[in-house]
Amino acid sequence: MKISANVRMGININDSGLPWSQWILDGIKTIETRNSNTLKSYVGKTVGVVQTGKGPAHLVGFITLGEPKIYRTREQWAADRSKHRIPAGSDYDFVDGSVKYGYPVMNPQRITPIPVKSRGMVSRFIGDLI
């Protein structure tokens, strides 16, 4: 995948507990999960992968996000555990009565890490880095 200069945003991936961003870029984690539909504006688009949670944030690669699967039951969630990689019983595991969104991750591409100075809860501006 050739990265276009049109990629302006990156999504935050918190690696403080497990190497989520590396698993995404290695094709091990193929669904990125969120507690709400916070990535809806990035569906169908290429975005940066911004590694956070271990010191300063870094742009470490690029992915394309697909339409989210909505998990409404623990059984649906458990059936995709090999794709989202969230360990049973972890802080990110499914809670009965909740809803989770699972965005398919496509076309992962790793790059040499680039420091990111912009800030954001869900995403960050990276247009000045590439």
Joined together, the tokens standing for residue 52 give: 């956070």
| CATH fold for the domain made of 9-125 | 2.30.130
Query: What is the value of pTM for the model shown?
Result: 0.93
* Domain edges within the chain: 9-125
Which parts of the chain are beta strand (E)?
9-14, 31-34, 46-52, 58-65, 69-71, 100-115, 123-125
What tens-digit pLDDT sequence spans the chain (130 residues)? Answer: 456 567 899 999 999 999 999 999 999 999 999 999 999 999 999 999 999 998 999 999 999 999 999 999 999 999 999 999 999 999 999 999 999 999 999 999 999 999 999 999 999 999 888 6
User: Cβ(3)–Cβ(130) under 8 Å?
Assistant: yes
User: Cβ(61)–Cβ(113) under 8 Å?
Assistant: no
